[in-house]
A and B are shown apart, each in its own frame.
Chain A
Amino acid sequence: MKRPRMPQLHVPRLRVPRLRKVRPSVLRPRARGSAQAPPVRHARPLARVAYTAIGVLGELLITLGLFLLAFLAWQLWWTDVEANRAQAQILDELVPAPLSTQVAVPGEGDPPVMAAPALRETFAALHVPRWEGDPPRPISEGTDRATVLDVLGLGHYVGTAMPGEIGNFAVAGHRTTYGRPFHRVEELGIGDPLVVWTQDTWYVYRVTSTLIVMPNQVDVIAPVPGDPTAVPTERMITLTTCHPMFSARERFIVHGVFEYWAPTSTGTPAELLGR
């Protein structure tokens, strides 16, 4: 009994305001004596098609605007949510226990150097005390966006030195979006520690310079930065990210030089313990 009544109640409700809205627009052009086309309901076929087309076009443009807004929301917010979650999980699997509160004992002699890992393998983590409040970031082999930088965090340039090796340990990362591991890169100052964790060894570097270069300036990741033909004698670290933020016009570069290493079994570098 209730079912047939429901639509009957609603149909007249909908129609009454519609008629009221239509009437003035029908009357106005006539009153002014203009030759403006009457509303869709009474229009000739051609005019009706035109009205429908304009209406659909308008709706498509509004839809496009909403689509672009949604894309911005996805790019600027959701990629961070997803990537931060993924990177935190990667770190959890990589470094199971909480860091020791013992101060690590620096090792003697040359630091141990691990073999280059397979592509996409996560082999290290970067701690930057200057970015207090940010989590450490996993470093994986390769700098492909879709398979490494967007999903795994930081990427190690294939063919550059490994941590502690003589040459240039070069790492790329997003500065905005996808977890933005290098978001605060501009806060780094000369002398700030960059601490690299691997399964067996801590490597502590110190920032020596920051610079802004063009994207094609690949010599910043050369074994001797700025001199691609030189034979390296120092252990360097280089971070690359985009500059300015939300643009890929230039690159922000951070160079650092190796200070000391310590076995992870002895504790945590003093730089990370705030001592």
Chain B
Amino acid sequence: MYGWIWRHLPGPVPVRALIALVLVAGVVAACFQWVFPAISPLMPFNDTTVG
């Protein structure tokens, strides 16, 4: 999977590394923005109210 992505990135190694870094940052940002807020209500450790 990661090997496949690496082989399909264009350019020499430094450029590929930079693109890979940008891709990782993008995925993490998407997780922080949308994915984690969506799954956090399903987690069992944040309830503070009674009832």
Contacts and interface: CB of A to CB of B under 8 A. Distances in A.
Interface string A20-45: 00000000000000000000000000
Interface stretch (A84-92, A114-122, A197-205, A210-218): A210-218
A217 B1 CA distance: 50
A184 interface: no
Interface string A136-152: 00000001011001000
A93 B4 CA distance: 52
A231 interface: no
Contacts of B50: 172, 213, 215-218, 220-221, 240, 251, 253
Given A67-B31, A218-B51, A145 B46 contact: yes
Contact of B41 (A145, A177, A240, A253): A145
A50 interface: no
A60 B1 contact: yes
Interface residues of B, number: 21
B28 A70 contact: yes
Contacts of B2: 59
Nearest to A57: B1
A212 to B, nearest CB: 12
A121 to B, nearest CB: 18
Given A71-B36, A75-B43, A240 B1 contact: no
Interface in A236-257: 240-242, 246-248, 251, 253
A240 B28 CA distance: 33
A275 interface: no
Contacts of B1: 55-56, 59-60
Among B13, B43, B45, B49, the most chain A Cβ lie within 10 Å of the Cβ of B49
B15 to A, nearest CB: 10
Interface of A: 6-7, 10, 55-56, 59-60, 67, 70-71, 74-75, 78-79, 143, 145-146, 149, 155, 157, 172-178, 182, 213, 215-218, 220-221, 240-242, 246-248, 251, 253
